[in-house]
Chains A and B, each alone.
Chain A
Amino acid sequence: MQLERNAFSGHDLRKIYVTGETEVHALRGVDFDIKKGESLVLLGPSGSGKSTLLNIVGGLDRPTSGTLHYDEIELTALDDRDLTRFRRANIGFIFQFYNLIPSLTAEENVRLVTDIASNPMDPGEALALVGLADRKHHYPAQLSGGEQQRVAVARAIAKQPSVLLCDEPTGALDSRTGVRVLETLEQANRELGTTLLIITHNAGIAAMADRVFHFLDGRIARIETNTHRISPSEISW
Chain B
Amino acid sequence: MRALDLKLMRDLWRMRGQALAIAVVLAAASATFILSMGVHRSLYETREAYYSENNFGDVFANMTRAPRSVLDQVSAIEGVQQAQGSIVQYAILDFPNRIEAVRALLQSVDERGRDRINLVSLKTGRMPAPGQPEEVVADEAFALANNVVLGHEFDAIIYGRMQRLKVVGIGLAPNYVNALAPGDIIPDDTRFGVFWMGEEALEAATDRTEAINTLSVKLQRDASQADVIRAIDRILEPYGGTGAFDRDDHPSHVFLDSELDQLEAMVKIFPPVFLLVATFLVYVVLGRMIRTQRSLIGLFKAFGYSDAAIAGHYLKFAIAIAILATILGAIAGVWMARELTELYARYYHFPILRFSFEPSVFFGASALAVASAAVGAVSGVWSAARLTPAVAMSPPPPPVYRAGMVERIGQNAGFSAIGHMIVRHIARWPARSSMTIGGVALSIGLLFSTLQFIDSSEFMLESYFFRSQQQDISVTFTEARNEDVLFELRQMPGVLRVEPVRGLSVEMNHGNRLERTALEAIPPSAKLTARIDQDGNVISMPPGGLMLSRQLADQLKVDPGDSVYVKMLGGRRTEAMLPVGATVDEFIGARAYATNETIEKLARDGAPVGAALLLIDPAERDNILTVLKTMPAVLSIGDRDLEMSRFEEMIDDNINTMLTFYIAFASAIAVGVVYNSARILFSERAHELATLRVLGYHRLEVAVVLIGEIALLVVISVPVGLMIGFWLAQLMLRMFGSDLFRLPFAPANATYGEAAIVVLIAALLTAVIVARRVMRLDMVRVLKARD
* Bound CA span A141–B399, Å: 8
Q: B411: shortest Cβ distance to chain A, in Å? A: 9
A28 at the interface (CB under 8 A from B): no
B405 at the interface (CB under 8 A from A): no
Q: Are B699 and A80 in contact (CB under 8 A)?
A: yes
Q: Are A102 and B398 in contact (CB under 8 A)?
A: yes
Supposing A102-B398, A104-B417, A141-B398 touch, asked if A88 and B783 sit within 8 A by C-beta, the answer is no
Q: Are B420 and A103 in contact (CB under 8 A)?
A: yes
A127 at the interface (CB under 8 A from B): no
Query: Which of A41-49, A89-97, A201-209 lies at the interface?
Result: A89-97
Q: Are B421 and A103 in contact (CB under 8 A)?
A: yes
Q: Are B424 and A97 in contact (CB under 8 A)?
A: no
A222 at the interface (CB under 8 A from B): no
Number of residues from A at the complex interface, CB < 8 A: 35
Interface centre among B417, B688, B697 (most CB of A within 10 A): B417
Supposing A95-B783, A103-B421, A103-B425 touch, asked if A84 and B401 sit within 8 A by C-beta, the answer is no
Q: Are A104 and B698 in contact (CB under 8 A)?
A: no
Cβ contacts under 8 Å, A61 to chain B: 779-780
A71 at the interface (CB under 8 A from B): no
B786 at the interface (CB under 8 A from A): yes
A157 at the interface (CB under 8 A from B): no
Q: Are A60 and B402 in contact (CB under 8 A)?
A: no
Please give me the residue from chain B that is nearest to A167 by CB atom: B783
The majority secondary structure among interface residues of chain B is: helix
* Bound CA span A93–B420, Å: 22
Scan B264-293; emit 1 where CB is below 8 A from any A CB, else 0.
000000000000000000000000000000
A231 at the interface (CB under 8 A from B): no
Cβ contacts under 8 Å, A84 to chain B: 693, 696-699
Scan A117-159; emit 1 where CB is below 8 A from any B CB, else 0.
1000000000000000000010111100000000000010000
Please give me the residue from chain B that is nearest to A108 by CB atom: B417
Supposing A95-B783, A99-B783 touch, asked if A141 and B400 sit within 8 A by C-beta, the answer is yes
Please give me the residue from chain A that is nearest to B697 by CB atom: A116
Interface centre among A60, A87, A101, A109 (most CB of B within 10 A): A101
B704 at the interface (CB under 8 A from A): no
Cβ contacts under 8 Å, A108 to chain B: 417, 420
Supposing A84-B696, A84-B698 touch, asked if A101 and B402 sit within 8 A by C-beta, the answer is no
Supposing A113-B696, A137-B403 touch, asked if A101 and B779 sit within 8 A by C-beta, the answer is no
Cβ contacts under 8 Å, B416 to chain A: 111, 115
Interface centre among A102, A113, A140, A142 (most CB of B within 10 A): A102
Cβ contacts under 8 Å, B401 to chain A: 102-104, 139-141
Supposing A141-B398, A141-B400 touch, asked if A91 and B696 sit within 8 A by C-beta, the answer is yes
Q: A56: shortest Cβ distance to chain B, in Å? A: 10
Q: B414: shortest Cβ distance to chain A, in Å? A: 11
Q: B429: shortest Cβ distance to chain A, in Å? A: 11
Supposing A81-B698, A102-B399, A102-B401 touch, asked if A112 and B780 sit within 8 A by C-beta, the answer is no
Q: Are A101 and B696 in contact (CB under 8 A)?
A: no
Contact-residue bracket for chain B: 20 to 34
Please give me the residue from chain A that is nearest to B402 by CB atom: A139
Cβ contacts under 8 Å, A97 to chain B: 786
B338 at the interface (CB under 8 A from A): no
Contact residues, B290-340 vs A (CB, 8 A): none
Supposing A60-B780, A99-B783, A141-B398 touch, asked if A88 and B417 sit within 8 A by C-beta, the answer is no
Q: B130: shortest Cβ distance to chain A, in Å? A: 91
Cβ contacts under 8 Å, A142 to chain B: 402
Q: A103: shortest Cβ distance to chain B, in Å? A: 4
Q: B412: shortest Cβ distance to chain A, in Å? A: 13
Q: Are A87 and B398 in contact (CB under 8 A)?
A: no
* Bound CA span A38–B766, Å: 48
Q: B709: shortest Cβ distance to chain A, in Å? A: 11
CB within 8 A of B696: which of A55, A80, A87, A102?
Answer: A87
Scan B203-245; emit 1 where CB is below 8 A from any A CB, else 0.
0000000000000000000000000000000000000000000
Q: Are A111 and B696 in contact (CB under 8 A)?
A: no
Q: B437: shortest Cβ distance to chain A, in Å? A: 19
Scan B771-787; emit 1 where CB is below 8 A from any A CB, else 0.
00000000110010010
Q: Are B417 and A115 in contact (CB under 8 A)?
A: yes
Q: Are A89 and B696 in contact (CB under 8 A)?
A: yes
Cβ contacts under 8 Å, B687 to chain A: 99
CB within 8 A of B688: which of A87, A88, A101?
Answer: A101
Scan B420-460; emit 1 where CB is below 8 A from any A CB, else 0.
11001100100000000000000000000000000000000
* Bound CA span A99–B688, Å: 8
CB within 8 A of B417: which of A99, A102, A112, A117?
Answer: A112
Please give me the residue from chain A that is nearest to B701 by CB atom: A116
Please give me the residue from chain A that is nearest to B403 by CB atom: A137
B694 at the interface (CB under 8 A from A): yes
Interface centre among A85, A88, A103, A117 (most CB of B within 10 A): A103
Q: Are B780 and A55 in contact (CB under 8 A)?
A: yes
Supposing A60-B780, A104-B420 touch, asked if A112 and B402 sit within 8 A by C-beta, the answer is no
B367 at the interface (CB under 8 A from A): no
Cβ contacts under 8 Å, B402 to chain A: 139, 141-142
* Bound CA span A155–B695, Å: 9
* Bound CA span A58–B779, Å: 12
Scan B656-700; emit 1 where CB is below 8 A from any A CB, else 0.
000000000000000000000000000000011001111111110
Q: Are A87 and B694 in contact (CB under 8 A)?
A: yes
* Bound CA span A141–B398, Å: 8
Q: Are B696 and A88 in contact (CB under 8 A)?
A: yes
Q: Are B403 and A99 in contact (CB under 8 A)?
A: no
Scan A69-89; emit 1 where CB is below 8 A from any B CB, else 0.
000000000001100110111
Cβ contacts under 8 Å, B695 to chain A: 87-88, 93, 112-113, 116, 155
Cβ contacts under 8 Å, A115 to chain B: 416-418
Please give me the residue from chain A that is nearest to B693 by CB atom: A84
Q: A153: shortest Cβ distance to chain B, in Å? A: 13
CB within 8 A of B779: which of A60, A89, A103, A104?
Answer: A60
Q: Are B417 and A60 in contact (CB under 8 A)?
A: no
Please give me the residue from chain B that is nearest to A95 by CB atom: B783
Q: A232: shortest Cβ distance to chain B, in Å? A: 25
CB within 8 A of B691: which of A58, A81, A99, A111?
Answer: A99
Q: Are B694 and A99 in contact (CB under 8 A)?
A: yes
Scan B619-646; emit 1 where CB is below 8 A from any A CB, else 0.
0000000000000000000000000000
Cβ contacts under 8 Å, A55 to chain B: 780
* Bound CA span A111–B699, Å: 19
* Bound CA span A97–B690, Å: 13
Cβ contacts under 8 Å, A93 to chain B: 694-695
Cβ contacts under 8 Å, B425 to chain A: 103
* Bound CA span A117–B695, Å: 10
Cβ contacts under 8 Å, B786 to chain A: 97
CB within 8 A of A104: which of B421, B694, B780?
Answer: B421
Cβ contacts under 8 Å, A137 to chain B: 403
* Bound CA span A84–B420, Å: 23
Please give me the residue from chain B that is nearest to A161 by CB atom: B696
* Bound CA span A142–B688, Å: 18
* Bound CA span A61–B421, Å: 26
Interface centre among A89, A109, A141 (most CB of B within 10 A): A141
Please give me the residue from chain A that is nearest to B696 by CB atom: A88
Please give me the residue from chain B that is nearest to A113 by CB atom: B695
* Bound CA span A56–B421, Å: 28
18 further A-B pairs in the complex, CB-CB below 8 A; given A101-B421, A103-B420, A141-B400 = A55-B780, A58-B694, A60-B779, A80-B699, A87-B696, A101-B417, A101-B688, A101-B691, A103-B428, A104-B420, A109-B417, A111-B416, A112-B695, A115-B417, A115-B418, A117-B696, A142-B402, A155-B695
6 contacts between A and B (CB under 8 A): A84-B699, A87-B694, A103-B420, A111-B416, A115-B417, A142-B402
Q: What is the interface of chain A, defined by CB distance below 8 A to chain B?
A: 55, 58, 60-61, 80-81, 84-85, 87-89, 91, 93, 95, 97, 99, 101-105, 108-109, 111-113, 115-117, 137, 139-142, 155
The 6 closest A-B pairs by CB, nearest first: A88-B696, A103-B424, A112-B417, A87-B696, A139-B401, A99-B691
